[in-house]
Amino acid sequence: MAEMDDDELLDALGVEVAPLKVSSRTPREERIIAGFEDILRFHQANGRAPLHGEDRDIFERLYAVRLDQLRKLPEAHTLLAMLDAPGLLARASTTQADVDELDEDALLAELGVGDQPADQDDITVLRHVRSSTEKRAAEEIADRTPCADFEKYQPLFESVERELKAGIRKTLRFGRDTSIEGGNYFIVGGQLAYVAEVGETIKAAYGRNDARLRVIYDNGTESNLLRRSLERALYKDETGRRLTDPDMGPLFGDAPEPDDIASGIIYVLRSLSSNPFVAEHRELIHKIGVTGGKVETRIVGAKKDATYLLADVEVVATYKLHNLNRTKLENIFHRLFGAVQLDLTIEDRFGNPVKPREWFLVPLNVIDEAVQRIRDGSITEVVYDPKTALLVG
């Protein structure tokens, strides 16, 4: 029997191969879908739709605004029908802002998808006649495209979200400070944006300086819009915010705070537990703590304390510091190593389940580098990358 190639074999078996479908969605539709998928992930994690309110997390409030705006957009109901299993778009609006007067273009702008270059194949481009100023503004903003090296930036976004929740970073209405530099974070169109690169200065309209930016978004996309285009987007976005740099505060300052201690010690412990997981990763699992007294006194009776994994511990490193703020220092370590916190539940002496905190899967040399960076103030410039086990900028 003569050998058959793959196509002949499938034909002999009566199997029809359907051609791969090429996506016919416009860039604008892709961005609307990506924005709604963020809301769906929130719903899946919390069992409810995002809500408004000053007591809510900043990201929940942004998702709530985005959902209300999508509910007002007729195009979204058709586009997202297959994705909207929970029926989020059909529910009554919970918005506190009046968006009834916004037309479709304004709503798209609020969603971060307005003022984009028109798709050449999109027949809807003929619905409106734009002025030359509007056309020029649209040309300045490039379509968002998938970020090929997003894995490099994802740890940064995760770290920033933890810093916001811990109060290490704050959000400010864009306008007090209109500067946009490399390394800045913003919230625009309901998405977290990171300015990864700033190009060479160019002369824009009316002789003003401008520059092309590489902006990475937390949904895995990027764009190379102009600095002044980002400024305009932040100005007209009511939810647009600038993220402050991490507030180190008087970590080693002269002004005392309620939780300051005159001198203290950062200590690093290694567990001698016989727990199989701990035993297997003993050289990697460390507890990082801060005390104003003697470390030896702190760990007396460790084998009877679930905080120390009900086992003796050994002190592998200590760092003496002065005029430090205990809470802020602990927050820095949790911000830095929160993604690799030990996820282990053990039973205490009474059989009650306990999940010890302040144990992290991080090498000792990385902890040592982190302490040195805390001392020189450069700790705010790095995050911990679990894949490479390195502090990266």
Residue with token string 């778009």 = 89
Helix (H, G, I), strand (E, B) or coil at 361: strand
Q: 325 and 230 share a domain?
A: no
Residues 333 and 380 in one domain: yes
Compute the Cα dihedral for 141, 144, 148, 154 and give only its sign: positive
**E-assigned strands of 86-146?**
145-146
Token digits of residue 257: 């705070």
For position 11, what pLDDT does the model report? 63
Residues 289, 387: one domain?
yes
Burial class (CB in 10 A: 0-12, 13-18, 19+), 365: exposed
In a domain, 248, yes or no: no
For residues 327 and 259, the answer to whether their CB atoms sit within 8 Å is yes
Question: What is the span of the domain harbouring residue 335?
Answer: 260-392
Cα–Cα distance, 294 to 169 (Å, whole number): 32
What tokens appear for 372 in the block? 């040195």
Give 11-39 as a DSSP string. Answer: HHTTPPPPPPPPP---HHHHHHHHHHHHH
- pTM recorded for the entire structure: 0.39
- 233 and 157 inside one domain: yes
Boundary of a domain, candidates 208, 243, 278: 243
What was the pLDDT predicted at 100? Answer: 41
Last residue of a domain, one of 84, 111, 138: 111
CA distance 265 to 256: 17
| Averaged pLDDT in 10-residue chunks for the chain of 393 residues | 58 55 69 86 86 80 86 86 87 48 45 43 38 40 77 86 78 78 88 90 72 91 89 84 67 47 78 90 90 84 84 89 70 83 77 78 91 81 87 83
Q: Tell whether 135 is covered by a domain.
A: no
Which residue from 81, 78, 51 is spatially nearest to 64, judged by alpha carbons? 51
Q: How many structural domains does the chain have?
A: 3
Residues 285 and 363 reside in one and the same domain: yes
**Helices marked H in 216-315 — which ranges?**
227-236, 276-280, 295-298
Question: How far from chain centre, in Å, is Cα 204?
Answer: 32
On whether both 40 and 88 belong to a single domain, the answer is yes
Using CA atoms, how far residue 51 sits from 55, 60, 61, 74, 276, in Å, is 10, 6, 6, 21, 43
SS3 354: strand
Which residues, 6 or more positions from 316, have their beta carbon under 8 angstroms from its beta carbon?
268, 269, 270, 286, 364
Quick one: CA dihedral 121, 122, 124, 126, positive or negative?
A: negative
Rounded Cα–Cα distance for residues 72 and 76 (Å): 8
CA distance 227 to 242: 14
Give the list of residues 6+ apart from residue 13 with CB closer than 8 angstroms, or none. Answer: none
164 CB-near residues (< 8 Å, 6+ apart): 57, 58, 59, 170, 171, 243
Q: Report DSSP state, residue 109.
A: H
In a domain, 366, yes or no: yes
- Does 271 share its domain with 358? yes
**Same domain? 224 vs 179:** yes
